[in-house]
Amino acid sequence: MMTVGVLALQGAFEEHIAFLRRLGVEVFEIRKRGDLRRAFDGLILPGGESTVISSLLRELKIMESLREAVKNGLPVLGTCAGLILLAKEIAASEERYLGTMDINVVRNGYGRQLGSFAKKGLFLGKKIEMRFIRAPYIKEVGKNVRVLAVVDHKIVAAQEGNQLVTAFHPELTGDDTVHRHFLEIIHEHTAMDFKK
């Protein structure tokens, strides 16, 4: 059975856990360094406050372990704050967190007026509901990054190999399109490992 670890330090992790369980996936919470000793096939970095989550990752001494795991091919889904954690560049900031995905993001990209809103948009050609909560957006992508969704001329979902990010919160809707795509990435990665 597939196992996914969900970073459970702060933010919307419970909704991801419930979503994955409905899809028949074994899930566990990552709260401390020791939790990373478990074998798992994928990782979810949920929404929340990126600065708070990154501080906790450093304090718990798990930032480097997660960075290495993602660099070595561990499939990861980063939503909202998780997108910011994975970005190599954050506009108007010197701050870097995991920095594994070749994207430049704008934190709180929609400003206060549009702090939270919902829209319908195409994700891999399928129209889905997208819920944005003080969301970032992707300003630029590297040459190996595939854009998966654009809303109002802003990139809101992308993939680079084993890394999938969304500026919106797929776990807050009833639509499992994004999570199913993430599980496909895990299946592909597992198959590649098997071939090695």
Contact predicate 151/109, CB 8 Å: no
- Residue 181 known to be catalytic: no
Give residue for tokens 């709180």.
Answer: 108
Rounded CA separation 155/147 (Å): 7
Contact predicate 70/100, CB 8 Å: yes
Rounded CA separation 193/180 (Å): 20
* CB-count burial class (<10 Å; 0-12, 13-18, 19+) for 1: exposed
Residue from 15, 16, 160, 169 carrying the catalytic annotation: 169
Give residue for tokens 């028949």.
Answer: 24
Cα 130–chain centre separation: 14
- Residue 169 known to be catalytic: yes
DSSP string, 8-65: -SSSSHHHHHHHHHHTT-EEEEE-SGGGGGS--SEEEE-SS-HHHHHHHHHHTT-HHH
Residue from 15, 160, 171, 179 carrying the catalytic annotation: 171
Residue from 15, 16, 80, 160 carrying the catalytic annotation: 80
Structure tokens at 16: 């991801």
- Residue 94 known to be catalytic: no
Catalytic (active-site) positions: 80, 169, 171
